[in-house]
Every structure is written in C-alpha cells, then in structure tokens.
Amino acid sequence: MEDRERTHVPRAQVNPSLRSRGAVPAGVLAGVISGSVMILIACLVSSAHGMHFSAPLTYVGGLFWGVDALVGSAIVPIIGLFVLWIVSGLLGLLFSALTPPRASSEGAFTAGILYGIGVWAFMTYLILPWADPTMYDRMALEPGWWFAENVVFGAVLAITPALRNFFARREGAGFVEDQERHVRRAA
C-alpha cells in the first residue's frame, strides 16, 4: 500500500504549468491555417475579377522581385505562398502568446478580429509601403477586400486556444507518463 501511494503521481502536481504548454505549435499552426484561408479568399476574389487565380501570391512574391514579380515565372507565387505561411505562422505565434490559454471561443473570436484589424493597419501603413511596394500598390486598388481578408485572418485565429489546449494535453500526457515511469523506477 505504501508503494502504491509513493508511485501515484497526480497529473496536476507533475506539471502545474501545462496550460502554458502548446503555445508555440498552436500559434504557428493557427497562423498557417488562418493565412491559408486568407489567401484562398484573395485568390478567389482575384479570379472572380478576371485576374489570374495566383495573382495575390505573385504580389507577395514582389517582396523579392519587385514589379518584375508580375511577369515572373511560376516560382514567384510558390515563393509567395511560403512567405505568406512564414509571416502567418509568426503572426499566429504572437497571437498565441497574447491570448490566455483558457480563453473562451467568443473571447478568442473577438480578440482575433481585433488582432486582424491591427495586422491590417500594421501591414498597410508600416510594412508594405517600404517592404513590398508592388503588393501595396495592388492592395490600394481594392482596399475593402484587403481589409476583409485580414479580418478573416484574425477570425480564423480563434482556433488558437483550442489548438493550444490540444497540444498542451498531448505534450502533457507524454510528460506525465515519463514522470510516472521515473517514479516507479526510483521506488
């Protein structure tokens, strides 16, 4: 009986900071998913307006090629997609760091929309004018869609707390099992 009490390790005592676990993978994954939804909408709008489906990805590629991206090869939108995923992942990571681990769905949704508006303002007025003038000029042609796409980006980030809890449980389960195995060996 004494051995059993010694080897029983309650999960809450093993790792009380489980709530903070999972923030990095959840934020990056939520950002990539949000960016993918955002660019899909942008590509559909582009196609509906008679432009090439991958035109928005080409604009992102303008970060490296400038206006030559518009007449570049097929590699330009592919590079644009990877740039979008990297930036979206980083923005998702920041959102995850700013969001409480136990945020409600409604709270995360509201915070995500406000975050998306903040990202829109930050990108529109600070980043794009000097980093990617090609994209900046194209976004100025349809500012309503550019704003809406960023709001959607933020709204989809509402999945962050759920992903964060998922990764925390997943990481925490392995940690607890390792701790329990270690305690049994020590006994």
Task: Tell me the per-residue pLDDT of 8-65, one tens digit each, with 9 for 90 and over.
Answer: 544 444 333 334 578 899 999 999 999 999 999 999 999 999 998 998 988 888 888 8
Rounded CA-CA distance 94/91 in Å is 5
Rounded CA-CA distance 79/91 in Å is 18
Residue ranges per domain, the chain? 27-174
The arithmetic mean of pLDDT across residues 143-158, rounded, is 96
| pLDDT on residue 96 | 93
Where do runs of H (alpha helix) occur along 49-186?
55-65, 75-98, 105-122, 128-131, 133-141, 143-156, 160-186
Query: HSE-up of 161 (CA within 13 Å, CB side)?
Result: 17
Residue 87 scores a pLDDT above 90 = yes
Residue 7 scores a pLDDT above 60 = no
Task: Tell me the per-residue pLDDT of 97-133, one tens digit each, with 9 for 90 and over.
Answer: 998 878 888 999 999 999 999 999 999 999 999 998 9
